[in-house]
Amino acid sequence: MVTSAGTNKLLEVKHMCVDYMAANGTVHAVTDVSFTLERGEILGLAGESGCGKSTLAYGISRLLRPPAVTTNGEVLYYPRPRENGRRLEISSLRGAPVREDGAIDILRLSPEQLRTFRWSDLAIVFQSAMNALNPVMNIGTQIMDVLRTHRPEMGPDQRKQRAVELLKLVGIAPDRLRSYPHELSGGMRQRAMIAIALALTPELIIMDEPTTALDVVVQREILELIMDLCKEFGMTLIFITHDLSLLLELADKIIIMYAGRIAEKASSQDLYLHPRHPYSYGLLNSFPTLHGPRRKMIGIPGSPPDLRDVPSGCAFHPRCPLAFSACKSALPVLQPALAEIPGQLVTCHLYNQQYNSGRTPTTADLAAKYDALAEGSAVR
Ligand SMILES: Nc1ncnc2c1ncn2[C@@H]1O[C@H](COP(=O)(O)OP(=O)(O)OP(=O)(O)O)[C@@H](O)[C@H]1O
C-alpha cells in the first residue's frame, strides 16, 4: 500500500460545496473550495462577513446541522504513520474508509469514528468558545473530564497532573484548577478553552474568531500564545478572522473567500506584498497595518451578495473597479496569477489570457483603479 509517510500533507479539501436549504431559497455558502494543508502550517481564512468561512470550517469538521447540506467534496485527512506510536487513537478509527494513499475521508466517517477523530485529531475553538465552558464545573474538572473520556488508561493523578500542565501551557496558574468560569476573566476563559482543545494534543486545530470578544491587548497575548503552541507542538492550525492584518502576522498561507468561493490563495508574504485579486487588494486596504509601508485606506464599494442569488460570472464583478465584460458572464477559475509564482492562485479573468490579452495588472494598477473609484472618477 502506498502511504502518505514521507510527505507532509495533513489535510486536503477537494471541491467542497455546502448549501443551506433555507425556506426562502438555497444559500450557496461554500462552492467548489479546494486546498491542501501541510503539517505544522497555519492557514488563515479571511473575507467579509457571510462569505462562508465558518461554514467551510464546520463542514470540514462535520459539525454542520440541517438545513446545511454538504452537496459535494472530499475532506482527506492523512494520519501520521502509526509506527511512531504517537497517534495511537487512529487505531480506534479502524473500519474507517482508508484510501490507497493512507488518507481518511472525514466526510465518510461513522458518527462514532467522528467523535474519536474530533477530540484526538481535530479540536475546534469556536467564536464564543469562552461561553461554552460549563458554568457549574470548575476548570480542572472540565479538563479532566475530557481526559477521563478519551484517555481511559490515565489514572486520577495523571489526569490532574496533565490538567495542571495544560493550564501552565496556556499561562494560567495551577491554583486556578478549582476556579469556576465566572471567577475568570474573558481572556482566562479563552485560554482555558484552548487548554481543553489541546488536552489530547490534536494534529489540527480550527479556531473561528477565537479572540473577537476580547480587548486588543488580550487578543494579542492569546494570539502570541497560539503561535508559540503551534510552533512548540508542530500543530496545524486553521484560523478564521475578519481581521486580515492579524492573519498577515500569524498565518503562513491565507485564503481569501468571496461569496462562498476562494478569491485568492497565497503565502502571507505574497498576499501582503502583491495582492492579485481586486477583492484581496480592497480587503487589504480597508484596515491599517501595524508594520510595512503606509497605505491609503480605501473601502470596497457596495456589499457582499445574497448567496441565494449570486451574481453571474465573477460574483465580485458588481463591486470590482477593474471588471470588464467577461467578468459578468464567464465564471473564473482558480489559477496561478503569474507563472513565476505558482503558489499564488487567483480566481480572476485579469490573469487569464483567454479573457485578458493585455498586460497582467500590477498592484499599482489595482491601487490606481481603487484611487480613481474613491475620487469618483473610475471608468467602469
Ligand atoms: N442556518 C443557516 N440557514 C441559512 N443560511 C445560513 C445559515 N447559516 C449561515 N447561513 C448563510 O451562509 C452564508 C455563509 O455564512 P458563514 O457564517 O459561513 O459566513 P462567515 O464568512 O463565517 O461569516 P461571519 O464572519 O459573519 O461569521 C451567509 O450568507 C449566511 O447568511
Q: Which atom of ligand 1 is nearest to the CA of 257?
A: 21
User: What residues contact residue 276 under an 8 Å CB cut-off, 6+ apart?
Assistant: 264, 266, 337, 338, 344, 346, 348, 351
pLDDT-based confidence at residue 95 (cuts at 50, 70, 90):
low
> Across all residues in the chain, what is the average pLDDT?
87
pLDDT(15) > 90: yes
pLDDT in tens, 24-46: 999 999 999 999 999 999 999 99
Q: Whose CA is nearest to atom 12 of ligand 1?
A: 29
- Helix, strand, or coil (residue 116): helix
Give the pLDDT mean for 1-18: 76
Q: Whose CA is nearest to atom 28 of ligand 1?
A: 50
50 lines ligand 1 (CB under 6 A): yes
Residue 88: per-residue pLDDT: 39
pLDDT(83) > 60: no
pLDDT(298) > 80: no
The model's pTM: 0.90
256 lines ligand 1 (CB under 6 A): no
Strand order in the sheet with 261-267: 122-125, 204-208, 236-240, 42-46, 253-258, 261-267, 345-347, 334-336
Q: Which of 16, 18, 27 to mutate to test the pocket of ligand 1 (most atoms within 8 A of CB)?
A: 27
Q: Whose CA is nearest to atom 5 of ligand 1?
A: 20
27 lines ligand 1 (CB under 6 A): yes
Q: Which atom of ligand 1 is nearest to the CA of 304?
A: 29
pLDDT in tens, 117-126: 887 789 888 7
- Helix, strand, or coil (residue 90): helix
353 lines ligand 1 (CB under 6 A): no
Strands 261-267 and 345-347: antiparallel
CA of 280 to the centre of ligand 1 (A): 20
Q: What is the ipTM of this complex?
A: 0.98
47 lines ligand 1 (CB under 6 A): yes
User: What DSSP string runs through 313-375?
Assistant: SSTTGGG-TT--HHHHHSPP-EEESSTT-TT-EEE-GGG-TTT--SPPPPHHHHHHHHHHHHT
Residue 101: per-residue pLDDT: 83
Q: Which of 21, 26, 33, 55 to mutate to test the pocket of ligand 1 (most atoms within 8 A of CB)?
A: 55
Residue 85: per-residue pLDDT: 44
Q: Domain locations in the chain?
A: 313-380
Cα-flanking dihedrals φ and ψ of residue 214, to 5°?
-105, 155
User: How distant, in Å, are the alpha carbons of 15, 44, 151, 288, 332 from that of 120?
Assistant: 26, 22, 10, 38, 38
CA of 28 to the centre of ligand 1 (A): 10
Q: If you search the block for the grid coordinates 469618483, which residue do you land on?
A: 376
Give the pLDDT mean for 340-353: 96
DSSP letter (8 states) at residue 306:
P
Give the pLDDT mean for 280-293: 74
> Looking at 124-133, 221-230, 344-353, which range is the least confident one?
124-133
